[in-house]
A and B are shown apart, each in its own frame.
Chain A
């Protein structure tokens, strides 16, 4: 397919990102949740405002929501996920 069409020519391009992971976080399938590897009692909830490759913000003492994974670059829906 040529690059002449607007959808291709004017698409926003960015480096290919590996599926986001953050050191210190682990997905516990038995809990269906992410946990802090250092303290598996601490469930980690959602990412969203973090950025690819950046460490999560300092951890609060209790399991409150904090960034885990990178925001989806587009903020778009699940199609094609």
Chain B
């Protein structure tokens, strides 16, 4: 069908979306970007029955039915976390929740390919669920317990060297500062009931001498990068050493690539940013981010992720059609 539109649901400060817009523009593909932070300036109406989306934005006036849309890039949160600060004033929170509900309502457009659809995205945001799916698919996964207590030193987590992760990613304001919990290496003796009781965390065996890998999957496309410092893997959470790490293209074994694609597909996703580690000769699955950032890989390594996304969004690589 000629002249179909790609719908981009994002915000004006999402740099990854900028790359996709540039790619679509280069191809001459019609697109409508709905920035949730700017939607109050626009006029949008959704008839959920027919369904039809009417949008009047600075990009133009659009009347779209599902047949008019080849793909939807969904770069919006599937659930809103409260961070503290001015963004969580009641009126602002209400506004964000209502617009988030509006963007989810666009799932009445069932025919286009969604990258990613918010329903499987919501399910796949659960790290324990990801681990279960990965294990069922035959991935090596590190022994893990979700708990608010110190687990006994026995199976499945008899190890002394562990990491702590937040069960759900958070970004909050504490005492006038922003706070984020990076994966933290601990020993069993660092843990206490007192320091865990208030809320659950993920405790996981620490991978020895690990090499961090970020694998970006779009449809059948799979691009892998390693993160190193002076030719060696990074101890702890590499994101704490962003100024010193180096990103390198990494050749994954074909079988591991296929497993990455299979995992993303099994989660009902088209796009996934997987975190793996290579340790003791094995590839371990850590987690997958359905809305993970990728523009840094395009910028640093030239990964053609915008091209792969554009291919999917215009229907060239639509294996879920």
Contact = CB atoms under 8 A, between A and B. Distances in A.
Nearest to B80: A80
A77 interface: yes
Contacts of A12: 179-182, 240
Nearest to A80: B81
B181 A7 contact: yes
Interface residues of A, number: 49
B77 A79 contact: yes
A13 B178 contact: yes
A32 interface: yes
Contacts of A34: 18
B170 A46 contact: no
A55 B173 CA distance: 26
A26 B195 CA distance: 46
Contact of B77 (A19, A48, A78): A78
B295 interface: yes
Contacts of A53: none
Interface string B163-206: 01010111111111111111010000001001111110100000
Contacts of B33: 32
Contacts of A49: 296, 299-300
Contact of A33 (B21, B83, B170): B21
B76 A65 contact: no
A8, A17, A48 pick with most chain B CB within 10 angstroms? A48
Contacts, number: 168
A13 B193 CA distance: 24
A41 interface: no
A23 interface: no
B143 to A, nearest CB: 19
Given A45-B18, A46-B19, A78-B77, A6 B195 contact: yes
Contacts of B25: 31, 33, 43
B194 A4 contact: yes
Given A46-B295, A65-B298, A69-B13, A11 B198 contact: no
Nearest to B186: A6
A32 to B, nearest CB: 4
B79 to A, nearest CB: 7
B13, B38, B201, B273 pick with most chain A CB within 10 angstroms? B13
Nearest to B176: A16
B249 interface: no
Given A20-B13, A49-B296, A8 B174 contact: yes
Contacts of B125: 79
Interface stretch (B151-159, B256-264, B284-292, B311-319): B284-292
A63 B76 CA distance: 27
A80 B176 CA distance: 18
B8 interface: yes
8 contacts: A7-B199, A8-B174, A16-B176, A30-B60, A46-B16, A71-B242, A74-B239, A78-B76
Given A10-B184, A79-B77, 4 more contacts: A43-B22, A46-B19, A48-B296, A80-B169
Interface of A: 1-17, 19-20, 27-34, 43-49, 65, 67-69, 71-81
